[in-house]
Amino acid sequence: ALRGVTSSMASQGAIELSAVVDAVEGLFEHAVSHSSASLLLSTVKSHDEYTFFHSVNTCILALATGRMIGVDKESLVPVGVGAVLHDIGKVAVSAATLNWPGRLDDGQWKEIQLHPQEGALAILAAGGEGNEIAATVALEHHARFDGQGYPSYRRTRRPHIFSRIVSVVDTYDAITTRRSYRRAETPARALDVVLGAAGSSYDPDVVKAFISMMGVFPPGSILRLKTGETVVVAERPTEPDAPLATFIVRDTKGAEISPEPLVINVSDVAVQLLPQQADFDPATLLEMIARSNSPAQS
């Protein structure tokens, strides 16, 4: 359903909002039942399908952050819808501008700055229950906590709390995703960026909740241990200093192996790796685990 939203908007200039709501409700139920698995799912990246995966990942992280700060279930679905559709206005931006490898000129920058407004208008045109909240999130996700950004509020008011949630998780996912013009950064680096802008770009309370939820090494983080193995974090620890539940995916010689559970301490970690540095895609872990849990074929 979510894949069809962007293509429908691009080809017909319209959004089927009810399909988005249904999909978000499904993601919400999964996030409630399998919180760590949902966060791990958010590490699945695709350079070729950036808009789709970024929208889904932003939704997953926004739902989890909303739960973390106490947003009730009824309100979480509009948060998720707003998160899924926050960048829908980019279908009105030329591909050349979106993928421009260098510094944008004034015309390109103005084109980019119009995507929140274009997205909000498209969502409002779709109608449906909760579309006002989703449109607000689309309009405000680049509006900073201090009133700067775009659109600028010049300190007259704060962006909506749901917009502030999406702003944080949108930045985190964008930083950790490779684009044609920029390499991906590690989750730890992305958390540092968000924390450094708390109080200016981002609501400090939302940032605090997000970092507390993600932990030092969020689910999906690829780590090389001091003993040489490569592991992928599978679950978020319940306490900051608690051991990490991981899966070994490469042995001490660097050979890929079937995933094996391993509990480690943060002190066991030598370095955090990007997928290209580890030559391992976290999405592969999901497939490997599924295969290992499948009954043997006779």
> Are the CB atoms for 188 and 216 separated by under 8 Å?
yes
| pTM score | 0.81
pLDDT at 180 over 80: no
Q: Give residue 298's pLDDT.
A: 37
* pLDDT score recorded for residue 178: 81
| Angle (CA) 131 4 17, round 5° | 15
Altogether, the residues listed in the chain come to a count of: 298
245-278 per-position pLDDT tens digit: 999 999 999 998 888 899 999 999 999 998 888 8
Interval 200-235: pLDDT, tens: 999 999 999 999 988 888 888 899 999 999 999 888
Q: Which residue has the higher pLDDT, 107 or 182?
A: 107
Question: Which residue did the predictor score with more confidence, 140 or 1?
Answer: 140
Structure tokens, 296: 């043997």
pLDDT over 50 (residue 295): no
| Overall average pLDDT of the 111-133 stretch | 88
Q: What is the mean pLDDT of residues 96-118?
A: 92
What pLDDT is attached to residue 98? 86
User: What's the chain's average pLDDT?
Assistant: 83
Longest CA pairwise span in the chain (Å): 68
Q: Quick check: 1 pLDDT over 60?
A: no
Higher per-residue pLDDT: 25 or 31: 25
Q: What is the pLDDT of residue 47?
A: 47
Sign of the dihedral defined by the CA atoms of residues 185, 186, 187, 191, in that order:
negative
Res 62: pLDDT: 93
With 80 as the cut, is the pLDDT of residue 194 above it? Answer: yes
Q: For the chain, give the percent of residues with pLDDT over 90.
A: 41
Q: What is the 3-state secondary structure (H, E, C) of the chain?
A: CHHHHHHHHHHHCCCCHHHHHHHHHHHHHHHHHCHHHHHHHCCCCCCCCHHHHHHHHHHHHHHHHHHHCCCCHHHHHHHHHHHHCCCHHHHHCCHHHHCCCCCCCHHHHHHHHCHHHHHHHHHHHHCCCCHHHHHHHHHHCCECCCCCECCCCCCCCCCCHHHHHHHHHHHHHHHCCCECCECCCCHHHHHHHHHHCECCCECHHHHHHHHHHHCCCCCCCEEEECCCCEEEECCCCCCCCCCEEEEEEECCCCCEEEEEEEEECHHHEEEEECHHHHCCCHHHHHHHHHHHHCCCCC
Query: Whose CA is closest to 282, among 80, 23, 39?
Result: 39
Using CB atoms within 10 Å of the CB of residue 151, give its burial: 0 to 12 exposed, 13 to 18 middle, 19+ buried: middle
Per residue in 144-166, pLDDT (tens digit) is 999 999 988 766 789 999 999 99
Instruction: Examine the pLDDT at 241 and tell me if it is beyond 80.
Output: no
